[in-house]
């Protein structure tokens, strides 16, 4: 330099290009937050949405994503005694990087009715076949009308991806990504520190 003072820059190499953020993370968060603003309970249907917030701390600052996920808990109750005949829970979490929704079928610990857990990084665009078949079998065994319950669940999946009206139908594709967004790339931050809400990196012993 002309002044003889040391250069304030650590490197003379050209500045690296700014990494463009993955817009699908914002769309994912938008859909999830919007779905939590509506409770679909009515009649025999009970809907309980749960918000699962967290902030992941790494190296003294908070790193995205700030939204862990959500659960949408649906119960289909008997018209007489109001006890549930079937339970379906949509568990949405970015940790679930499955290629397709995972369906886990158990019995409800209190009522003994079928309890269906649907695990996925996002809400399924369609109700999984395993859940549909089980609910149809439940309807035949109890002579109950589960068709309405299936309709409610499918309507929930459809509305989850529908843009707010009025909208251009050609733009609706952007609300339906076919794969989970890549996790944010933060330098010197382990992958698990970004997505695990309960993990804070431990200091290595020297």
Instruction: For residue 115, give the nearest of 71, 161, 80, 148 by alpha carbon.
Output: 71
* Long-range contacts of 99-104, Cβ-Cβ distance < 8 Å, separation of 24 or more: 100/128, 101/128, 103/128, 103/130, 103/131
Q: Which residue has the tokens 């859940």?
A: 131
**Radius of gyration over every alpha carbon of the chain, rounded to an integer in angstroms:** 23
* pLDDT per residue as tens digits for the range 135-191: 888 776 666 666 788 889 999 998 898 876 666 655 555 566 666 655 555 455 444
* pLDDT per residue as tens digits for the range 116-137: 999 998 899 889 999 999 888 8
Spans of all domains in the chain = 41-160
pTM over 0.85: no
């Amino acid at each position: 330099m002309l002044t003889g003072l040391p250069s304030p820059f650590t490197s003379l190499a050209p500045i690296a290009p700014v990494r463009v953020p993955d817009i699908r993370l914002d769309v994912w968060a938008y859909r999830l937050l919007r779905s939590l603003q509506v409770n679909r309970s009515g009649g025999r249907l009970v809907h309980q949405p749960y918000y699962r917030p967290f902030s992941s701390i790494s190296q003294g600052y908070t790193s995205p994503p700030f939204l862990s996920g959500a659960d949408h808990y649906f119960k289909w109750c008997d018209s007489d005694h109001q006890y549930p005949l079937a339970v379906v829970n949509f568990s949405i979490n970015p940790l679930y990087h499955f290629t397709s929704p995972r369906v886990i079928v158990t019995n409800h610990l209190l009522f003994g009715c079928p309890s269906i857990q649907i695990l996925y990084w996002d809400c399924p665009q369609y109700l999984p076949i395993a859940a549909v078949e089980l609910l149809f079998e439940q309807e035949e065994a109890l002579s109950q009308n589960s068709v309405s319950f299936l309709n409610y669940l499918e309507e929930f999946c459809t509305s989850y991806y529908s843009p707010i009206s009025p909208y251009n139908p050609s733009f609706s594709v952007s609300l339906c990504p076919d794969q989970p967004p890549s996790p944010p790339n933060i330098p010197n931050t382990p992958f698990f520190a970004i997505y695990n809400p309960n993990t804070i990196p431990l200091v290595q012993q020297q």
